[in-house]
Amino acid sequence: MGRMTGWDSAEPDDRAAMIAAVDQLPFIVIVSEGPDLVVVGGNAATRAVLPGRELVGRTVREVLSDLSGQQFLDAFHQVYRTGESISGRQWRVHLDQPDGSVGEMFATFALVPWRHPDGTVRGVIGAAFDVTELALERRAAEAEADRQRRRYEQTRDVIDALQRELLPAGLPVLPGLQVAAAYLLADAGTRAGGDWYDAVTTPDGRIALVTGDVVGHGVTASGVMGQLRAVLQERLDAGASVTEALTAADRLAGRVRAAYAATVALAVLDTGSGELAYCTAGHPSPLVIPVDGPARHLDGTGGAPLGTGGSFPVRHDRLGPGETLLLYTDGVLERPGAAADPDAEFARVATDAAAGRALHDPSATGAERVCTQTLELLVRSGGHADDITLLAAQRIPVVPPLALDLPAQPEVLAGSRRAIGAWLDAVGAAGEDVFVLQHALGELVTNAIEHGGGDTVGIRARLLASGLVEATVTDSGGWRAPERRATRGRGLALTAQLVQSLRVEPGGNGTVAIVRHPLLRPARLLSAPPVPPASPGGGLTITELPGGDEARVRIGGPMDAVTAFEVRAELLRRSRGGTVPMTVDLSGVTFLASAGVSALHEISAQHLAEKTPLALVAAPGCPARRILDLVGLSSATAL
C-alpha cells in the first residue's frame, strides 16, 4: 500500500473508491497510525477473521489483545519504532471466537511502515494471507513422511537383524590365517538377500570357506539360504568331504523348490601347508591374490548348480605364504557400469586393496582390506544391482604363544593387561574378545597374587587350530586368605561369566586356572556397519563435572585391584559419605575388574543407607556397561 499519500490528497469521491477497492482485497489488511498504533482501516477479509470486533479507533493492542504473547503485537510496535519491515511464513495464530472458543489459523504476513511525505513513520500497515489449509496439508505430509521414515527404519532394522541371524556371528581367528567377509544388500537394507558366506573349522584342523547364492530376494530367499548354510555347516563340522557336503545340500535343493539352482563355491584349506581342495557348483571360481604380481582365477570345476542333477567334481591347488584366497558372489561382477572385462577389473582392484595400494586403513587386516575396499571402490560410481558377498582368507605367519612370568605384586596388573592385549592383537583378535580375555585373565592374575602365596605368577596363552584361545594363569605357592577388604570376592564368578570355560586345578606346587574362549572377528554387513568397541588404555582419571547441588564425576581408565581403592575413596569424598546425590559416568572406564565392581557396590550401599540418589551411567557398548550388566548393577540406577 506504500505511503498511502494518495488517500490524503485524493478528492472525497476518489478516496471512497480507493477505500472500497482495498476493502475487496482477498487478503487481510489492517492499517494503524501513531505511537499507540490506532487502527484507521481494515478490509472485509480482516473483519471476517475478527468477527464482531470494533476495528477503527481502537489500538492494535486492544483489537488484537488475544495475540498478546504470540509475538505479533511486539512486531507491530517494533516496525513503528525501527522503520524496518517484518515478515513471517506460516505463523500459527490462536484467536478468540465470539462463542468463547479458540480458533487456530496459519498466516503468512508482512508488516511495513506507513510513512509521511517527509519519510518519518506515520504508522504500520499489516497484510496477511490465511494459509491454514496449506499449512495443514504440509503438516499432514510431514507426518506421513515421518511415519514412512519410521516404517522404513523399522523394516530396515528387521531385515538387518534377519541377515545377521542367518549369517555367521563372526569369522574364526586361526593360527596362520586371517579371515574376513563383507556383505552388501542389493536394496540398501530394505530387502533380505539370498547370498551367504561361512567359515567352518573341520575336525582335522582345516577350514572350509563357503559362498553361495540363492535365486531371488526376500524372506523366502533368506530362509532357503539359512537352510543350505545349516546343512553345509553340519556336514563340514562332522568331517564330510567337499563332495559329500555339497551332495547333502543338493538333496535339500531337490526337496525345497526355492533352493533350485542355488550356486555354491566351497574350498577347504589346510592352513599349515596351504593345500586347497575346492568345487564351484555353478558359482564363479575363487581368486588367488599373490604377495607380488597379478591375481589369478582358479580353474572352474564344472560342478552344477544345486538341485539340477549334476555332479560336484573337486580340484586341488595350493595357497602360498602371504597369498589371499577370495571367494565371492556374481553380484560384484554384474554391476551397472562395470568394465568391459569385469573379471579383470575385479582382480585388479582386489589386488591393489590386498597390497595396501588403495585406501589407507592401517587398522584393517589384509583380508579385511580386500573385502571392504574392493566393495567400496567397485560400487561407488555405478552402484550395484544384486547382493554382493566377499570372503577372503590370507595365509600369515603363526604368532608364537604368549609366555609371561611376573612378580606376584599388584603393580604388575597394568603391564600384564598391555602384554595380553598386544598378543591378542598380534593373533588377530577383535575388540570384543580382547576386552573379554583381558578382563578374565586380569581377574585370575589378581586372584593368584592375593591367594597364591608365591613369588611369581605365570601367564601362558596359545591359539588352537580350532580358533580357541587356551590361556593359563599359575601361581607358585599354596592358597592363602587375602587381607580383608571390601573390594574382594567376585573375581572367579566374573571370569566364569565372561569366557566360554574356566577350570581351576589346585596342586601342591600352586594353582592353575585354565580359560578357553573362541576368537571371532565380525564380518561387515555393510547396510549397518558395526560400531568398533572402545580400546583399553591410559591411566586412571577422576574428573569432577559441574553439577550444582549434585556431585557429578567422570571416571576414565582402568578400575582394577590397584585403582579401585582410589576410586572408592574419591567417590565417598565427593558425595560426602553418600549424603549428596551423585552421578558417576563410567563410559570412559577401559577395564572394570571385580575390585572396581565391589567398590561401586559399596558406594551404592552407602547412598541407599543415606537415602540419596546415585546414578551410574555407562554408554551402550563400552566395557563398563558390559560388566555392570553382568554383575547386576544397572547402568542408570536412581535410589
pLDDT digits (tens, 9 = 90+) for 49-75: 999 999 999 999 999 999 888 888 999
Is pLDDT of 81 > 80? yes
562 and 626 housed in the same domain: yes
564 and 614 housed in the same domain: yes
Output the domain CATH number for residue 422: 3.30.565.10
Minimum mean pLDDT among 83-92, 206-215, 299-308, 569-578: which range? Answer: 569-578
149 lies in some domain? no
Is pLDDT of 1 > 80? no
Give the contacts of 225 (CB within 8 A, at least 6 positions apart). 166, 193, 194, 195, 196, 212, 214, 262
450 and 335 housed in the same domain: no
Strands (E) across 282-400 are located at 287-289, 296-297, 315-318, 324-328, 388-395
* DSSP-assigned states of every residue in 199-213: EEE-TTS-EEEEEEE
* DSSP-assigned states of every residue in 3-46: T-HHHHHS-HHHHHHHHHHHHT-SSEEEEEETTTTEEEEE-HHH
141 lies in some domain? no
| Per-residue confidence (pLDDT) for residue 14, from 0 to 100 | 62
Residues 576 and 582: their CA atoms lie apart, in Å, by: 10
> Which residue in the block uniquely carries the three cell numbers 521414515?
149
108 and 23 housed in the same domain: yes
Please give the C-alpha separations between residue 503 and each of 148, 493, 495, 516, in angstroms, as whole numbers: 53, 12, 10, 9
| Per-residue confidence (pLDDT) for residue 594, from 0 to 100 | 85
Confidence of residue 514 (pLDDT cuts 50, 70, 90): very high
Is pLDDT of 299 > 60? yes
Q: Of 104, 130, 156, which residue sits at a domain end?
A: 130
Confidence of residue 546 (pLDDT cuts 50, 70, 90): confident
Is pLDDT of 188 > 60? no
The enclosing H or E element of 52 equals none
360 lies in some domain? yes
Confidence of residue 530 (pLDDT cuts 50, 70, 90): very low
638 lies in some domain? no
| Per-residue confidence (pLDDT) for residue 599, from 0 to 100 | 87
> Which residue in the block uniquely carries the three cell numbers 510496535?
77
Is pLDDT of 517 > 60? yes
Percent of residues, the chain, with pLDDT higher than 90: 46
| Per-residue confidence (pLDDT) for residue 8, from 0 to 100 | 56
245 and 391 housed in the same domain: yes
Nearest to 584 by CA among 621, 611, 609, 559: 559
Tens-place pLDDT, residues 353-406: 898 887 777 778 889 999 988 988 888 766 776 788 999 999 999 999 999 999
292 and 374 housed in the same domain: yes
242 and 368 housed in the same domain: yes
> Which residue in the block uniquely carries the three cell numbers 536394496?
187
Confidence of residue 276 (pLDDT cuts 50, 70, 90): very high
Confidence of residue 532 (pLDDT cuts 50, 70, 90): very low
Q: Of 491, 525, 559, which residue sits at a domain end?
A: 525
What range does the domain containing 101 cover?
A: 5-130
Tens-place pLDDT, residues 455-502: 889 999 999 999 999 999 998 766 554 454 444 456 788 888 889 999
639 lies in some domain? no
Tens-place pLDDT, residues 83-132: 999 998 888 899 999 998 999 999 999 999 999 999 999 999 999 999 99
Number of domains in the chain: 4
Beta bridge partners of 475: 457
| Per-residue confidence (pLDDT) for residue 234, from 0 to 100 | 95
What mean pLDDT is predicted for residues 16-21? 72
Q: Which residue has the higher pLDDT, 491 or 33?
A: 33
Q: Which residue has the higher pLDDT, 607 or 193?
A: 607
According to DSSP, residue 67 is labeled: G
552 lies in some domain? yes
| Per-residue confidence (pLDDT) for residue 479, from 0 to 100 | 56
- 402-407, strands of its sheet edge to edge: 402-407, 456-463, 468-475, 510-518, 501-507
Estimate to the nearest angstrom the gap between the alpha carbon of 32 and the chain centroid.
58
Nearest to 532 by CA among 516, 521, 540, 542: 521
| Per-residue confidence (pLDDT) for residue 531, from 0 to 100 | 33
Region of residue 621 (phi > 0: left; psi between -120 and 50: alpha; otherwise: beta): left
Is pLDDT of 5 > 60? no
Is pLDDT of 601 > 60? yes
500 and 382 housed in the same domain: no
| Per-residue confidence (pLDDT) for residue 75, from 0 to 100 | 92
| Per-residue confidence (pLDDT) for residue 9, from 0 to 100 | 54
412 and 389 housed in the same domain: no
Highest mean pLDDT range out of 48-57, 130-139, 630-639?
48-57
Length of the chain: 639
182 and 305 housed in the same domain: yes
| Per-residue confidence (pLDDT) for residue 623, from 0 to 100 | 81
145 lies in some domain? no
Q: Which residue has the higher pLDDT, 10 or 210?
A: 210
What mean pLDDT is predicted for residues 408-430? 92
Highest mean pLDDT range out of 66-75, 184-193, 238-247, 598-607?
238-247
343 and 435 housed in the same domain: no
Q: Which residue has the higher pLDDT, 292 or 485?
A: 292
Output the domain CATH number for residue 278: 3.60.40.10
Minimum mean pLDDT among 142-156, 417-431, 593-607: which range? Answer: 142-156
Burial of 580 (0-12, 13-18, 19+ CB in 10 A): middle
532 lies in some domain? no
pTM of the model: 0.64
Output the domain CATH number for residue 50: 3.30.450.20
Output the domain CATH number for residue 617: 3.30.750.24
What mean pLDDT is predicted for residues 334-347? 84
Burial of 478 (0-12, 13-18, 19+ CB in 10 A): middle
What mean pLDDT is predicted for residues 329-350? 86
| Per-residue confidence (pLDDT) for residue 538, from 0 to 100 | 58
Q: Of 365, 395, 425, which residue sits at a domain end?
A: 395
377 and 507 housed in the same domain: no
